[in-house]
Homo-oligomer: A and B are copies of this chain.
Amino acid sequence: MFGVGLIGGSFAMALKQAGCVERVVGVGRGRANLERALELGAIDEVAGDTPSALRGADLVLVAVPVQQISPVLAAIAPHLEAGAVLTDAGSTKRDAVAAARANLGLKLMQFVPAHPIAGAELSGVDAARAELFRSRTVVLTPLAETGDEARVRGDAVWRACGARTVEMSAERHDQVFAAVSHLPHALAFMLVEMIASRPDAGELFSFAGAGFRDFTRIAASSPEMWRDICLANGDAILAEIRAFQARLATLAAEIEAGDGADIELSFELARAARDKWVRSRT
């Protein structure tokens, strides 16, 4: 268990509750956080170094910020036991795959890249809970090199956490999430930042209501994590920002022209699509 925060802690708790693991060993940057994870029962032991953490481990999760995956995989590679399954929890997948290709060598066959869609606006092991992944989707993006056994076991452990699993390519994953996750996060962060940077920010915020609260909830997410996502998935996010800018320019032109019919049509289409989506989730 490399990285014992919300995701790592919840993964360990879920697998313990499911009776799938005997002993969880934690490795992380912050000593205090690891102590807290011990107290909470997320992990059973803190490892002094990477080789001892990996000795006898048959399942390894890397749940660190996106930009740290590469050095962590480099440190893991020489010590990963044969037959162990290695998975991650990064929100972007092309970079995780690239980091694995650069660092794992023949052990690439043991790697099952994963993206659990859960809990993004909280962080830290204190927020961890065994139910975090229940009924959530985990996207798996196995490589051509991923071995069948690793693929099956990687899928099984995420399902043991209560998640639905779906497979797709890392490229498609990054496109899909640029649209439905990364762009909305960028918009929410930028809206709050724009308002906060104004001289009358205090008055403006005092009139923000429940709609603003929900719209900007994702702007409470970790700035470090989202910086890394912007860098790791930059090209796909840029394409989405540009498409959105074009859409916004069309709305602006409609407003300027007083074109109520086209404005209403766009809004109606959006509402109908969202209603359909919400109904499909329940």
Residues of chain A at the chain B interface (Cβ within 8 Å): 117-118, 120-121, 136-137, 139, 176-177, 179-181, 183-197, 201, 203-209, 211-221, 223-224, 226-228, 230-231, 234, 237-238, 241-245, 247-249, 251-252, 254-256, 258, 260, 263-264, 266-275, 277-278, 280-281
Contact = CB atoms under 8 A, between A and B. Distances in A.
Contacts of A242: 252
B194 A247 contact: yes
A196 B270 contact: yes
A241 B231 contact: no
B227 A260 contact: yes
Given A187-B187, A204-B176, A271 B211 contact: no
B184 A139 contact: no
A189 B218 CA distance: 17
Given A209-B117, A252-B241, A273 B192 contact: yes
Interface of A is mostly: helix
A230 to B, nearest CB: 5
Given A117-B209, A194-B244, A270 B189 contact: yes
Contacts of A281: 213
Given A208-B277, A255-B230, A263-B227, A203 B215 contact: no
Q: How many copies, total?
A: 2
8 contacts: A117-B207, A118-B209, A120-B209, A196-B273, A214-B214, A216-B270, A219-B267, A223-B268
B270 A230 contact: no
A277 to B, nearest CB: 5
Contacts of A195: 179-180, 273
A168 to B, nearest CB: 9
Given A184-B216, A196-B272, A205-B277, 8 more contacts: A120-B211, A121-B211, A137-B207, A192-B274, A193-B270, A211-B221, A216-B270, A223-B264
B189 A267 contact: yes
Contacts of A271: 189, 192, 219-221, 223
